[in-house]
């Protein structure tokens, strides 16, 4: 029954289906048991936003005394408003006739969460079978009749060859330039489906990746805008300006001191990015003597890595070592690439084996080693401010420390 209702209702904007559905549900048949047909129709109507026009009294009175009266005659409407039904006790049948009153002056626009897809090959086959050819026309009245018949035939063929799909998520409103790019991609895909040209396939893949990048950027931009609108300041964002010898010192979100980029929240994201870029540039410079075809021995390559490349990744790690795990993974990824370049190892060899064979420590181990050594030496420093760092912090792990660099010694 539900597939038939789909063909009747979902392919039209305005429709009314009336009949004996033999369906019982508590919403229109109170005091009686509900059956499977009633549950399916009720769920179908709620899912696709259809209206059930049901009477308030029973429509069927069985002749068997052991059966109870029920309401199984009603209507299902789409796009109609202010529709009512009245039961008439006029016939001698076990089903009472129904009188529907339909308002034809006010309609409901179709919902945006339902899309219709047409199988055009099936449409062509149906049209070939239904329309025999050019009809014989003898007078102007037959022209009008044949035109109306042709229009109805085309619409019937579209309905029979179309299927509907419910869009559960809310429709996304894309800007017109992005929608034009998507339309061009769809045209390109249609051309490739017709010709199977490999050059068109390459262009289609390139266009698809470009659209995915645009949509990802748009989604991230909307997310950031929502965060800005939802956040509110808890402190004064405009502190009093500082001056030095009468000259104002401008406020800034980040600064670089001794090669370390310090941001306002001490997350060190920009510092990690700058470190990765510097490491990548240096690795490209040393690539001719580190790659597989180099005449240097593996021992000398590892020595060059430890002397020139590893210090770039570990510089000041005792300060920024408490950065986020993704930042540490970025550094580890660059080190893995360098080790694979030196050893010529394929990608399926695990990272642990590479570190073990080359005797190169992981980034986490390097941070632990250098940070432990650093904080062990500052306790004997002659500067009392530096000396107090190792004893002034009482971190219990339940609160965020005042600065991320101060707490690193308690993590290792």
Between CA 43 and CA 45 the distance in angstroms is 5
Confidence category of residue 394, pLDDT binned at 50, 70, 90: very low
pLDDT-derived band at 48 (thresholds 50, 70, 90) equals confident
Distance CA 271, CA 194 (A): 51
**Whole-number pLDDT of residue 165:** 72
pLDDT in tens, 299-345: 898 899 888 888 998 898 888 888 888 999 999 999 998 888 888 88
Q: Is the pTM of this model over 0.95?
A: no
pLDDT at 191: 92
Are the CB atoms for 378 and 332 separated by under 8 Å? Answer: no
């Amino acid at each position: 029954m539900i597939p038939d209702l789909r063909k009747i209702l979902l392919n039209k904007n305005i429709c009314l289906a009336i009949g004996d559905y033999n369906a019982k549900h508590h919403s229109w048949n109170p005091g009686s048991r509900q059956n499977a047909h009633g549950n399916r129709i009720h769920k179908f109507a709620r899912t696709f936003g259809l209206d059930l026009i049901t009477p308030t009294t029973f429509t069927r009175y069985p002749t068997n005394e052991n059966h109870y009266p029920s309401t199984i005659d009603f209507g299902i409407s789409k796009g109609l408003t202010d529709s009512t039904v009245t039961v008439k006790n006029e016939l001698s049948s076990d089903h009472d006739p129904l009188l529907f009153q339909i308002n034809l002056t006010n309609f409901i626009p179709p919902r945006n969460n339902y899309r219709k897809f047409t199988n055009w090959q099936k449409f062509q086959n149906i049209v070939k079978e239904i329309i025999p050819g050019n009809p014989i026309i003898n007078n102007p009245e037959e022209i009008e009749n044949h035109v109306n018949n042709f229009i109805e035939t085309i619409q019937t063929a579209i309905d029979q060859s179309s299927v509907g799909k419910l869009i559960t998520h809310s429709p996304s409103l894309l800007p017109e330039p992005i929608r034009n790019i998507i339309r061009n991609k769809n045209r390109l895909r249609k051309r490739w489906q017709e010709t199977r040209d490999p050059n068109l396939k390459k262009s289609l893949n390139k266009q698809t990746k470009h659209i995915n990048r645009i949509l990802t950027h748009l989604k991230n931009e909307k997310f950031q805008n929502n965060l800005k609108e939802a956040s509110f300041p808890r402190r004064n964002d405009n502190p009093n300006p500082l001056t030095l010898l009468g000259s104002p010192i401008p406020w800034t979100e980040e600064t670089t001191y001794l090669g370390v980029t310090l941001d306002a929240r001490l997350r060190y994201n920009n510092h990690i990015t700058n470190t990765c870029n510097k490491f990548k540039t240096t690795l490209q410079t040393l690539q001719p003597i580190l790659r597989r075809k180099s005449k240097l021995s593996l021992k000398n390559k590892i020595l060059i890595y430890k002397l020139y490349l590893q210090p770039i990744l570990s510089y000041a790690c005792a300060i920024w070592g408490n950065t986020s795990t993704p930042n540490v993974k970025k550094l580890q990824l660059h080190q893995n690439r360098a080790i694979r370049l030196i050893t010529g190892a394929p990608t399926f060899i695990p990272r642990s084996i590479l570190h073990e064979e080359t005797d190169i420590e992981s980034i986490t181990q390097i941070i632990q080693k250098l940070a432990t050594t650093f904080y062990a030496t500052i306790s004997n420093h002659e500067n009392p401010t530096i000396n107090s760092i190792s004893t002034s912090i009482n971190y219990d792990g339940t609160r965020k420390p005042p600065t991320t660099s101060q707490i690193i010694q308690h993590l290792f």
